[in-house]
Amino acid sequence: MMCNSSHGTQLYLEVPSSCLPIVYSPVYNITFMGLEKLHPFDSGKWGKVIHFLKEEKMISDGSIVEAREATEEDLLVVHTKRYLNRLKWSLVVATITEIPPLLCLPNFLVQRRVLRPLRTQTGGTIMAGKLAVDRGWAINVGGGFHHCSSDKGGGFCAYADITLAIKFLFERVEGISRATIIDLDAHQGNGHERDFLDDRRVFIMDVYNRYIYPGDGYAKRAIKRKVELDWGTEDDEYLQKVELHSEGALNEVRPDIIVYNAGTDILDGDPLGGLAISPQGIIKRDEIVFRAARRRGIPILMVTSGGYQKKTARIIADSIINLRRQGLIGGNEDGEVAEEAEECVGGVPLVMSSSDSSPSSVSTGPAPNTI
């Protein structure tokens, strides 16, 4: 089952040590003739996080790693051909992404404007997996499509990026044979749960609102630590449970990599999450998880997953800055941002620029959606 049959991929290239293991691409953002406004969430989340991190001088243009789009071959590591073919129907994509007007669009536009951004975020998660192992931590500013499994999408998740990142590591990186997923998005992560249902190499901890989507009883059998929350759960109870169970999970099984699905739809007022966690609570939560990982010297990969209120991007950026202040994620040497890290994209042309010449996909511009 080892690497002999692995395909060639552009996602595992060497990254100069001057680059921070933060992965992002302007292509992440989905904007299309105002279509993003039809989705009931702040569609500018990913670009805004980057904007705030730059404003706080934590990163500069050249100092982070630019995500590449996952190719069909990359996706086939987990997805079935049948599923990928189904995405060639606009109706299927409209259903998965919950953007009904998409079904009126020709599929080539759906591919370019919706699926390509999602494939690039998926590539970003896979890249961040390798970076996490190399550097001890990595953050994909997007990704976290935890409702998608090998043969089925849903809840805005079209590609199973978490499963892909883990399978890439198992197949390609020596010494990585056990993973723990800590899924703290407000929703149950039924996608990776279905994918790893019978895989003893993967330990899944999931903390979610028990009353909301997807309520996937079959997938729940894959959860080793299941923490079901009630409507309106607040900071004290939440943080206590996160700490208790993160520590418990990592004491129970020591993984080679932690995938942390850091959804922010637990935020008070989120129309889907139904929980009542404060911005400070989210920042504290991320700190608890990183501290548990770093204290044990286990590499951690964070993805941002769901949460699309107007203030979400600010909270994610504040949390990343806090992780830095706490010494839980490092810069180069003494935490200095690389001034001239022009090689962070790996020196290879990026997939994005070819067909995307419109101004709508600029990095800090408004972007899309919901997980």
Contact 199, 277 (CB under 8 A): no
In the complex, the smallest distance separating the C-beta of residue 213 from Zn ion, rounded to whole angstroms, is: 8
Q: Kindly write out the interface string for residues 176-215 of this chain, putting x where it contacts Zn ion by CB under 5 A and - elsewhere.
A: ---------xxx----------------------------
**Nearest Cα residue to 13 out of 120, 131, 165:** 131
Q: Check residue 216 for interaction with Zn ion (CB under 5 A).
A: no
Interacting stretch for Zn ion, rule CB under 5 A, among 6-14, 40-48, 137-145, 298-306?
A: 298-306
- Degrees (nearest 5) of the Cα angle 45, 345, 306? 20
Residue 105 to residue 139: CA distance in whole angstroms: 33
The DSSP line for 171-186 is HHSTT---EEEEE-SS
Question: Which amino acid does the sequence have at 115?
Answer: L
Residue numbers 258-277 binding Zn ion by CB under 5 A: 263, 265
Q: Check residue 146 for interaction with Zn ion (CB under 5 A).
A: no
Task: Please state the separation of Cα 158 from the chain's center in Å.
Answer: 13
Q: Six-digit token pair at 52?
A: 């705030």
Q: Check residue 66 for interaction with Zn ion (CB under 5 A).
A: no
Q: Check residue 235 for interaction with Zn ion (CB under 5 A).
A: no
In the complex, the smallest distance separating the C-beta of residue 274 from Zn ion, rounded to whole angstroms, is: 10
- Of the pair 26, 144, the CB lying nearest Zn ion is at 144
Please state, in angstroms and as integers, the Cα–Cα distance from residue 37 to each residue in 99, 161, 306, following that order. Answer: 10, 25, 17
- Of the pair 21, 155, the CB lying nearest Zn ion is at 155
In the complex, the smallest distance separating the C-beta of residue 160 from Zn ion, rounded to whole angstroms, is: 15
For residue 214, say if its preceding peptide bond is cis, omega within 30 degrees of 0.
yes
Interacting stretch for Zn ion, rule CB under 5 A, among 156-164, 237-245, 304-312, 327-335?
A: 304-312
- Which are the catalytic amino acids? 147
In the complex, the smallest distance separating the C-beta of residue 277 from Zn ion, rounded to whole angstroms, is: 13
Q: Six-digit token pair at 82?
A: 């049948």
Which residues form the interface with Zn ion (CB under 5 A)? 185-187, 263, 265, 306, 371
